[in-house]
């Protein structure tokens, strides 16, 4: 039995001048929509709203920092939060979240002022990892604090001796901070995965 073998025919390369003219024609056609609708080379798509370096991204970072700072301030206003490790964890996570969000807000402000895109793969990777870590810590701290708050208020009925309203408010602020962080984390992960 004989197996068929493909036949290879050599193709001559186009001269360099003809290749440059052909590339210019493709770019000109792509700039006006092109036949296939592809983006011309060297042109970037707009950043999605909420991505780093956009006004939406700056807004999300400021909301994250505000609610993390609010959770920190409300929890620090009570004098007995250090007696519960979950509340100490919430304070530590809120500090980290506030610092991370404020530092990225400064980066977003810089990018908006100089009109630079933050679609650099290394920067997007750092943003994604940082958002994932701070988001996980903030969500874990908020859940742990919510559990302790429910234990104190509903199960043990000792709210009269504690600052239950302050604990619940700080926990709610931590959850809101995490909800503001989730879109940033998802957008950064999507940008990193789409490369």
Q: What is the residue-level pLDDT of the chain in tens, covering all 195 positions?
A: 555 566 666 667 655 665 555 555 555 554 444 445 555 555 456 777 778 888 988 999 999 999 999 999 999 998 888 888 999 999 999 999 999 999 999 999 999 999 888 878 888 899 999 999 999 999 999 999 999 999 988 888 887 777 888 999 999 999 999 999 999 888 888 878 876
Is residue 137 assigned to a domain?
A: yes
Write down the pLDDT at residue 34: 46
Cα distances from 1 to residues 4, 7, 8, in angstroms, run 10, 19, 22
What lies within 8 Å, CB to CB, of 166 at 6+ separation is 74, 75, 77, 78
User: In terms of residue numbers, what domain contains 148?
Assistant: 55-194
The contacts of residue 69 (CB under 8 Å, 6+ apart) are 94, 98
- The answer as to whether 140 is a domain residue is yes
The stretches of the chain forming alpha helices (DSSP H) are: 16-31, 55-76, 85-113, 121-150, 164-193
Instruction: Quote the tokens at residue 4.
Output: 């068929």
Structure tokens at 142: 């908020």
User: Does residue 148 belong to any structural domain of this protein?
Assistant: yes
Tokens 């360099």, residue located: 16
In-domain check, residue 89: yes
- Domain-located, residue 23: no
Considering its fold, how many domains does the chain have in total? 1
Whether this model's pTM surpasses 0.85: no
* 160 falls within a domain: yes
- 168 lies in some domain: yes
């Amino acid at each position: 039995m004989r197996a068929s073998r493909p036949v290879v025919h050599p193709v001559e390369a186009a001269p360099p001048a003809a290749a440059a003219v052909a590339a210019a024609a493709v770019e000109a056609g792509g700039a006006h929509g092109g036949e296939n609708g592809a983006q011309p080379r060297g042109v970037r798509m707009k950043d999605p709203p909420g991505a780093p370096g956009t006004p939406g991204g700056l807004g999300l970072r400021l909301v994250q920092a505000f609610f993390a700072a609010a959770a920190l301030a409300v929890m620090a206003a009570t004098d007995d939060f250090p007696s519960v490790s979950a509340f100490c964890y919430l304070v530590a996570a809120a500090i980290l979240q506030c610092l991370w969000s404020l530092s990225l807000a400064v980066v977003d402000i810089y990018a908006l002022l100089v009109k630079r895109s933050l679609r650099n793969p290394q920067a997007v990777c750092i943003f994604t990892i940082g958002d994932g870590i701070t988001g996980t810590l903030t969500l874990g701290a908020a859940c742990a604090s919510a559990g302790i708050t429910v234990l104190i208020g509903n199960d043990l009925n000792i709210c009269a001796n504690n600052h239950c309203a302050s604990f619940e408010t700080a926990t709610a602020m931590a959850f809101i901070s995490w909800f503001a962080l989730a879109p940033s984390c998802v957008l950064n992960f999507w940008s990193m995965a789409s490369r």
